Amino acid sequence: MKNILILFLLAIGPVVFAQQDWDALLDKYNKSSVPYITAQEAAAAWSTDEKVIFLDAREIEEFETSHLPQAVFVGYDDFDSDELPRQTLEQADKIIVYCTVGVRSEDIGEILLKKGYQNVYNLKGGILSWKNADFIVYDRNGQPTGKVHVYGPDWGRWLTRGIPVHD
């Protein structure tokens, strides 16, 4: 029994510590003004009958390297909420905004909430947490890829699965 407990703790340890690290990182940069959704919760919602829309709040080079399934590129520096398909977003059960780790996506999520959109969530840990959970990301051609754009070299340390890419 003791060996089973030790194996269990070894198996979940990295997940628990990774969760604590995301919390500390996001507490440093965010105000928690947009509710978080974990990669596991987002994947579960996306795989059901819920109408989930992923909005990618990174720059085009990042999006083309890697993005979540059926994600809509909205950008960050040139984000314009008036260009979004309002009816599609209003009909969504969940609007999940993501970036590399969840910092830029909070800013975009705040804008969407102020515009009156409901059910807006910030993907906690961004695309890195998605890939770390072993979910698939896609390249510019819609093909699965192991590469993940990590914004910059400092952020690459947060990627535990996949090949970090940055400019």
DSSP class of 150: -
Q: Is 99 a catalytic residue?
A: yes
Q: pLDDT category, 6, cuts 50, 70, 90? A: very low
pLDDT at 86: 87
CA dist 129 to 7, 79, 135, Å? 23, 23, 9
Q: What is the CATH classification number for the domain harbouring 22?
A: 3.40.250.10
Number of domains observed in the structure of the chain = 1
Angstrom distance (rounded) from CA 21 to CA 46:
25
Cβ pair 123, 95 in contact under 8 A: no
Tens digits of per-residue pLDDT, 63-105?
Answer: 999 999 999 999 999 999 989 988 888 889 999 999 999 999 9
pTM recorded for the entire structure: 0.86
**Residue 1 vs residue 48, higher pLDDT:** 48
pLDDT at 65: 98
Angstrom distance (rounded) from CA 109 to CA 122:
7
- Give me the catalytic one of 99, 111, 112, 127: 99
How many other CB atoms are there within 10 angstroms of residue 127's CB atom? Answer: 33
How many other CB atoms are there within 10 angstroms of residue 101's CB atom? Answer: 24
Tens digits of per-residue pLDDT, 96-131?
Answer: 999 999 999 999 999 999 999 989 999 999 999 999
Q: Which domain holds residue 94?
A: 2-165
pLDDT at 159: 96
Cβ pair 71, 22 in contact under 8 A: no
Q: pLDDT category, 8, cuts 50, 70, 90? A: very low
